[in-house]
Structure 1
Amino acid sequence: MSYLRVYEPLSAFGDPPDKLLVQAVEAAQLSRSAAGEREQSMWLRSQITSPSRLLPAELADGRAAPSTTTDVLVLDEAEVPSGLGSEPLVCPLELRARSAAALVSFMSDAHPALMNSVLDSGGMTADRVRTRAKAALSGSHRPVVHVLSTTWTVPLPWFALIEPDERRLTLGTGRHDPARELSWRTTMAEARARVTEAHSLVENTLGDSGPARILADTSRWLESFNAKSAVELDYGGIVQMIADPILETDTTADEVHGILEALRSGNVEELAELFTDLREYWGELAARERFN
């Protein structure tokens, strides 16, 4: 799973912030590499508990568990992009709210037969599920979550938010090393400016569907957060599927920016070549989703 995260200044979470949140930020026990395992653990726990929970990080009566406040990623001063000050930057996992949003999407898009099968197996009605999901979303600090995630691939428009030279690469000792990482980190101001420019360029040349729609949605999402935030694009668990030589020479960010430049200059030949390279590179990873 790959991630697009926003880390907000601690002061953006209230004046003063919740004491449990402050303590979690000071402890900073959850690492970026452990976040995926934590999410998986919370998911599994919600299903094996008797009775099972509709959403992870939720108590039996439907209220949010304390972990919704304390499960946070924290950037220390050395990891913060310049110009954001010395205040801790915090990214809540918000697994309960993210799961609720996914559930609402499922209820809207799933085939009726599949939806009814899922509801019957859980002994719940559609109205009850929607009510519980809405309650989980309304209890969030923000009307949007701090983390967007996808499985098996990375949406290419996300690379417009970062610059290739902002790359952070750690190969570690192999594919299953928890320290293994490929990510990019930038300031909110830079991310907003880049996505706005990319959206305008793509919409004017390719139309308002596909990549342009993703860029527009991402731009609106970024506007929901504090201007002094940091934005992180992280390959997450995808790095476990890519061999060292390929990961080390990954040029996706460069090629996406090359596509944007080709759109500016009208270089159709270069544009086609870059699209072909990206389709071949990511097609193999995306194909694994169909086999799982």
Structure 2
Amino acid sequence: MTAWRTTVLPPYTAQLRVYEPLAAFPEPDRARWQAYAAEHGPDAEGPGQPVTAAALAEQRAALAGLAALTPRPLPEQEDERAYVRVLDGVVYVCPWTTRLRGWLALQELQRTLPAHLVDTVLPPALRAAAEADRAQWQQDHPDARPWIASSRWEVPLRWFLPFGEEDRRHVPEGEYGSSGEGERPEPAALFYLTPMVQARRRVARAYRLLRERAPDGVLGDGAEEVGRWLEEFHPRSLVELDYGGLARLLGPRGLARERSVGELADGLGSLRAGDTAAALRAYEGLTARWRRVLALRQAS
């Protein structure tokens, strides 16, 4: 189990994760992850425990690479670590795939920032080398896909679709970890955890409804995107939405009141019942709220 020893605060990033059972991995990966889980121990046992300490360990590793004398935008080798959950005696693994996710983040960076800012953050020579490595790696691993999707400063509304309000877990600050001298208590956590079968069913129902009643809406496209991603994994997997550092951004009161999953489900229920006005109000309310959260990235 990852020990809680850090002064690093989690970044304002949410993650959507898939944990696959060991049986889902082909050999030799299965044996490797089985040995890793046995040596490392679980990061979370049962459905109510967060993986906060392990997430902070991942963040420390990323910061160490960026703080090096020669910044490393990507690890030289793919990460051999994972989040490990144990539920009802079954071991589930969510590989970090830090290098693959780094490539995807680099592509997003180049899409969202002006070229001169990208050049300032990561010089062209470093980016060119990273792209060359990615092309070669993808040629050798054509079926590779990340088990983790990340979003900075907001939770995309499409990420709420796989979950129900009964999947909600709110852990107040320090409940699962005490700090040593000079160290912080474990941050508050808000996460949702559900079986893959249930997640796929919810997303498929939402997709059909949105295509029928709101064919031009972006949420329908988002449901399709999430559904396609979930289909890549074993049907007995677990799906987790972890608010990560956004829990700190929302604050204790905001975190206790945060019910976006339930509100979106209510909006879809209104749409299914033919109450388009109520469905639109729910969608616009959620969109406006998360835009206010997103706007905090500009705050000093």
What TM-score do you get using the length of structure 1 for normalisation? Answer: 0.82
Aligned to 1:81: none
- What code does the residue aligned with 1:44 have? L
The residue type equivalent to 2:71 in the other structure is: S
Aligned match of 1:102: 105
Aligned to 2:248: 240
Aligned partner of 1:46 in structure 2 is: 65
Identical-pair percentage: 26
Tell me what 1:285 maps to: 293
Q: Name which of 68, 74, 83 aligns with 2:84.
A: 74
Give the structure 2 partner of residue 217 of structure 1. Answer: 225
Letter in 1 for 2:21: P
Distance 1:37 1:141 in 2: 30
1:254, CA displacement in angstroms?
Answer: 1.2
Matched residues in 1 for 2:142 and 2:236: separation? 17
Stretch of structure 1 that moved more, 147-156 or 200-209: 200-209
Match of 1:89 among 89, 92, 97: 92
For residue 168 of structure 1, what is the aligned residue in structure 2?
Answer: 169
Deviation at 1:187, TM superposition (A): 1.1
Partners of 1:228 and 1:87 lie apart in 2 by 10
SS in 1 for 2:29: coil
Give the helix-richer structure, 1 or 2. 1
CA contact under 8 A between 1:94 and 1:145: conserved in structure 2? Answer: yes
Q: 1:18 offset after TM fit, Å?
A: 5.6
In structure 2, the residue matched to 1:257 is 265
**Other structure's SS at 2:245 match:** helix
| Change in CA separation of 1:18 and 1:138 when aligned onto 2, cut-off 3 Å | farther
Residue deviations 1:141-182 (CA, integer Å, cap 9, x gap): 9521000110111111211101111111111359x7425221
* C-alpha contact 2:161 2:202 (8 A) present in aligned 1: yes
- Out of 18, 22, 27, the residue aligned to residue 10 of structure 1 is 22
TM-score, with structure 2 as normaliser: 0.80
1:150 aligns to 2:158 (yes or no): no
Specify whether residues 98 and 52 from structure 1 end up closer, same or farther in structure 2 by C-alpha distance, changes over 3 A only: same
Deviation at 1:188, TM superposition (A): 1.0
Query: Which range is displaced more, 177-186 or 100-109?
Result: 100-109
AA aligned opposite 1:38: A
Give the direction of change, closer, same or farther, for the CA distance of 1:184–1:124 in structure 2 (3 Å limit).
closer
Give the superposition deviation at 1:139: 6.2
Q: In 2, distance between residues paired with 1:233 and 1:5?
A: 6
What corresponds to 1:204 in structure 2? 212
Amino acid at match of 1:186: T
Gaps in structure 2 of 5+ consecutive residues: 1-12, 45-50, 176-183
Which residue identity lines up with residue 49 of structure 1 in the other structure?
A: A
CA RMSD of aligned residues (A): 2.7
SS in 2 for 1:243: helix
d(CA) in 1 for partners of 2:120 and 2:288?
37
Tell me the distance in 1 between the aligned counterparts of 2:87 and 2:120. 49
Q: 1:100 touches 1:137 (CA, 8 Å); kept in 2?
A: no
Q: 1:147 to 1:116 in 2, by over 3 A?
A: same
SS in 1 for 2:191: strand
The residue type paired with residue 3 of structure 1 is: Q
Distance 2:31 2:69 in 1: 30
The Cα of 1:20 is off from its aligned counterpart by: 4.4
SS at match of 1:161: coil
Q: Confirm or deny: 8 A CA contact 1:153 1:285 kept in the other structure.
A: yes
1:137, distance to aligned residue in structure 2 (A)? 4.8
Aligned residue number for residue 83 of structure 1: none
| 8 A Cα contact 1:4 1:233, kept in partner | yes
Is the aligned partner of 1:191 residue 2:210?
no
- State how far apart, in whole Å, the 1-side matches of 2:270 and 2:250 are: 28
Gaps of 5+ in 1: 79-85
How far off is 1:29 after superposition? Answer: 6.0
Partner Cα separation in structure 1 for residue 94 and residue 194 of structure 2: 14
